[in-house]
Every structure is written in C-alpha cells, then in structure tokens.
Structure 1
Amino acid sequence: MNNQTISAQLLSPFNMGDLPLKNRVVVAPVTRSTVGEKRLRFMAKYYAQRASAGLIITEAAVISHQAIGWLNSPGIYTEEQAEDWKQVVNAVHSHKTPIFLQLWHCGRASHSSFQQNGQLPVAPSAIKVNGDYIHTPLGKQAYETPKALETEEIAAIVQDFSQAAQLAKIAGFDGVEIHGANGYLIDEFLQSKTNHRTDKYGGSIENRYRFLGEIITAMTKVLSPNRIGVRLSPNGSYNDMGSSDFRETFLYVAQQLNQYGLAYLHVMDGLAFSFHELGNPITLAEFRQVFTGPIMGNCGYTQETAEAAIEKGDADLISFGRLFISNPDLVERFANGWPLNPLVDRKLWYRLGEEGYIDFPAYASSS
C-alpha cells in the first residue's frame, strides 16, 4: 500500500458544518507553557508553521484568573488578551486555515499560589488530587484540598466561559473548544469520582452533566452552536481521574450533546496519555452510536491508525498533538511519505523561548 492510498481519507476535504476544512488532520490542543508574563509569546509563528492542517485548536486558554493552574499558559479573560490573540488568528488565517480557541478552567488542578489573595482552588467537591506535586509560582508544591463551590457560585463560572467565548469572537477565532477533559473543572463535575455534591449539580449523571450543559447554552448566545466543540477524556486517569461508571457517564454526555448541533465532539479515546483501567476503554465506535455530529479522535494516533478510523467511519477528523510538536509540516510529511522527526523529550515540552518550540524545520528545507 503506497502512502497516497494510506492517506486517501485523512487528507481529503471535510465540511465541518459551514466551515470547509482542506483535510481531516487537526492540530490538537497541547499546553506548552511558552507564554511569558503577558501570557502570549511566539505563538503566532508556532501556529502559522502548522497551518497546512485542516483545523487548528490552540493550547488551552484560561477563562479567568481563578481558572489558572499552569505556569506560563495563555488566557482569554481580558480585552488586552483578545487583542494579543489577533496576531495568532491573523497568522493562521493568512494560510486560509480555520482556528478554534480551547477554553479552560483548571479547577482543583491548581494551587493557592495561582489564586488572588491566596485563596484555595475551586472544585465541585473538596477532594484533592492524589498526586506527588504541582508546579506553581512557588516551585513544586503539594496538592491542596480545593474549596467546594457553593451552588450560587457556579453561575459566575458559566458566565466566565460565555465571556471568554465573546472575547474569542472579538479576537477573530472561527470557534471555540470547551475543555471538558483531563481532570479539569468540567471533567470534575462530570465524573462521580470527583463530584460528591448533593445539590442540582451532583448525584445523578443528569445532574453532573448540568454544568457543562449550562456552559454550552450560555455560549450559544454568543456563538453559533456549529462553532463550538467539546473535548472529553473518557479513558484517562490524568489528574487522578477515572470513575467506575465512566462508560455510562460519557455515553450519556455524548448523547446530550446532540441537542445543540455542535461543530464536533473531540474524544481522547487513545491510551497514550493515560488509562484508568476501570474497564475496557470506550471506543470511537461506541460514541458514533450515540453522537450524531462530527467526531474527532485523539491520543496516540499514527497516520495509519488515523486513516483506519476514518475509513471505518468511526471518526471524521483526527487530531495530532505530539507529532505536530516536532513536525510543523506533518500534513506534507503524511502526503509525501517523508520521515517524521523524533518525538520531543517531554522534559522539553514546557519552556519559554524559541528552542524546542518554533525551531523545527520543515522537511523540504532540511533535506
């Protein structure tokens, strides 16, 4: 089988609602911790280098000061940040590539040293991450038991997501992706392991879904639903996640998402990032049975496995994270059968400056 046959579906165009994509290869959101004090640096060039993809989803941007939980990560909660993001959007749009901004609240995966007045991070319930440490402005620190949100406090966070969507629109983004994965705030509400609430946001799956549903509903007053995506990680254990009822929970969530007409459902179905081992992993085929919109697979895909998922009809799009870090011209490498650069050592993922970020040459210019 030649490379052109392998890539027949992966490199074919796809209409994502009213947004035409030139191929089905997506730049996945990958936090790089490259943003300085103003929370934006070098990013326009980084994303423009990868604009041969059909769609770019940016690294996660926090929706408020309270949402911060990573050093040197970008934000989208001030007009100044929206103005800064315009340079990224314009650089990518110059290649006629659409770009979505991922919206993020870290929830309990934060620390008081990130918070205003040294307040505790917030979560659905006062259950701390069972982990060794978190990187903070004070260096490595032990995880803290978060503050459980009061019922009346949740509406303000929903509004923060809505405002972030408005600022993303002002910045010129084609859409936004709601970060509902990897043990951050929305995922913490969805999962029974981290949500022990007894109010309308806890207990049943329907109640645990309510927070995400309210966020989407609020956002649809700002953006067309077909410019909103949602990312889930049903199989992951990152940030001490994994619930015994994971299959029931996430298939229910996917089914509920049908009511909106979203741009896509982004599923981290692969196990390359982590796996909670609480049962057989949920597959894209299972999501296809309950979700009627476009499905994007993610996590550990190769060119061959991505093509197979699309050929089988399990996915419409596949996002690549680690491969895009060191291969800005990943689409061209797929199309021409060019070898890939080695994966970057994870220790080098998170650093300020150009090295290991925007200094990977395209194959044609390095051969």
Structure 2
Amino acid sequence: MGDLGRLLKESWSLVEERQDKVAGYFYARLFLSHPELRELFPVHMDAQRARLLTAVVTVMQSIDDPVRIDQYLHELGRDHRKFRVDAEHYEILGAALIEALRQVAGAQWDAEYDRAWAEAYAMITEKMLAGAAADTNPPFWHAEVVAHERRGHDIAVFTVRPLQPLDFRAGQHLSVECPKYQPRLWRPYSPANAPRRDNTIDFHVRAVGAGWVSGALVRRLQVGDMLRLAAPNGAMNLDRRSTRDAVFVAGSTGLAPVKSLLEELTRYNRTRWVHVFFGARTREDLYDLADLNRLAARYPWLSVVPACSEDPTYPGERGTIPDVVARYGPWNEHDFFVAGSHAMVRATLGTLAGLQVPAIRIKYDAFDEF
C-alpha cells in the first residue's frame, strides 16, 4: 500500500465509527459558509449523506488501484453534471470535507493527514472534472410520462418519452428526478426495455416505506408529468460473443433490467437457453408474470420460474429466490445476471458461490429504492 493510501485509511479509522457525524458536520459547515449552495441539494438529506460517505469509502478502498479509481471518478464526475457542479464548487466541497474530518477526529488528527486528504481530493477533483468534460451528453434529459399503471398496492409500471434521443444499453440504469413532487432528489432506476426506435422507456418502481421518490413515482405521477433523466450507468450488459446458456435472477422490481436484457436477446438469440427466476413475497408481487409468460410462449429458448417467499397458498415454487435457484441446475457452465435489493443480491451471490459458479460469469445490479 502506498503512503497516500496508508494515511487515508489510518486517518479514516479515527472517524469511521462516527462517520454520520462527519457527514452532518460537512453539510452544516458547507451551508453555513456558502448558503447559496443549499438550493443545489434536496430538502431531505438522508440519502445525500449516505452518498457522500459511500464515495469517500470507495475512493479510500480504490486509491491503490489506478484503473478502478479512474473509472469510478470519471463516472462520478459525469453523473454530477446533473447537479450543475463546477470547478469552484469542488474547491468549496473539498475544504468542507477536510474540516469535517479534522473536527470529528479531534486531537489525533495531524498535519500529515491534512496533506494526504488535500492530495487525494485534488486527484478526485481532477478526475471528476475530466470525466464531466469528456461527456458530450446533456446534463439531463426532459422526459414526458406517456403511460402509468398501478400493479397492486405499491408497484407501478410507467413509460416515458425523452424529448431528445437518449442512448443507453440494455441492463444499465438511469438516475431519475421527479421535479414536480420531489425536486433535486435523484434515484437510479433501470429501464425495463432495450432501446427502441420510438425512444420510449419503461420503468418498474416499487414504493418502499417512506421513500420520497419511489412513493411519488408510484402514487402521484400522472400521464403528462415531466421527469428528468440523467446519463446511463452500469455494466450489467450482455456479451454477444458468449455462447453459454444464461440465467437471470430477479427479485421484485429487479425484474426491470432483466426484461431489458431479455428484449435485447429476442432480437438476435437463436442458440442460447435462457432461464428466468422471478422472486417476490406474494403472488400479487409477481406483478409482471403475465408478460414474462407471454415471452416464454413466444420464444422456445426461454423458461420462467416464479417463486413466492411468504405466500403459503402459492401453487408454484416457494422459498427465497436463491434457494429456488439452488434446486435447479447444475449452473457452473452458465452466465448469470442478478438484480434486486442489496440483501437479495448478497444472498444470491453466496448461493452461487456455493454452487461453484465462477464469479467472472456473474453480473449483478443491487439497489434499494427511496
């Protein structure tokens, strides 16, 4: 480990158990010294604080891996274009972050740690600005809601049409803002379709708890409303060179990127068997099973296995989706694609490791909705 990486991790250990205080102090200091920046941030800051800490930890973990950190920071800089962040803002944010770390660490913080974080933050700024400058897309796209359908109590399927062409790959996700109901709150959602000629995009959203954005998209969004979509990210894409059969494992609205990938496969696949495992708590939560079954009836290479984990009267497979996948197989010669909540993805990856599926053949997209 280089000296910079050692100093960053050593100094972070002083605040790691109080990292929430770091985030709280950071934003308090920022808004007190530069109140004009408050309007760049959402009213509800919980998720924003979590993102700050995630970024800090990711940089520390990647500091000695130039390829990984370049990719992460370029993508992060590109994504921050939607917030209208410029070079001056980066300087202000850096000073506030180092001051927050210094204050929470207390007397154990020293000048060497100051220099290390200043060096690291200069590198972060340079790479994020380079990523932003290299992006030729607009900061975000305006998109009109052209269809909206409730599927049960807390799930909606809706379609938007961007006012300008928006290029993405099947399996990627887009950040979505609902300015009419929750301005400046962005959340990542995966299109549920491959790119289409008419430029429309389908989304599947589940309202979770007191989720500000997901609740608005499910319960308040109407046809004619406008959303903002930021540039696509993510690498859960198909490799057209692969000849291996494929397994898709989806939990709840993790079905969205799976459907996107399936739609791409319908355009060219003739030789690969494809198995979809779709898991939910109850049969009502299998909100798109009818469409999956229609696809399976149309394409002989596709099979669909739905499962419920909390519905004792369900006539099909019962249990968590990782357990259901384990009942089938063997799978060690297949490509895997896994999408769902963080807990579901972790459990599935653990099951696949036990089934001796090589990690290099597994792509996944974990999310939690807010």
Q: Which has the higher strand share?
A: 2
TM-score (normalised: structure 2): 0.28
Q: Which has the higher helix share?
A: 2
TM-score (normalised: structure 1): 0.28
- Which is greater in Rg? 2
User: Which structure has the higher relative contact order (CA within 8 Å, separation 6+)?
Assistant: 1
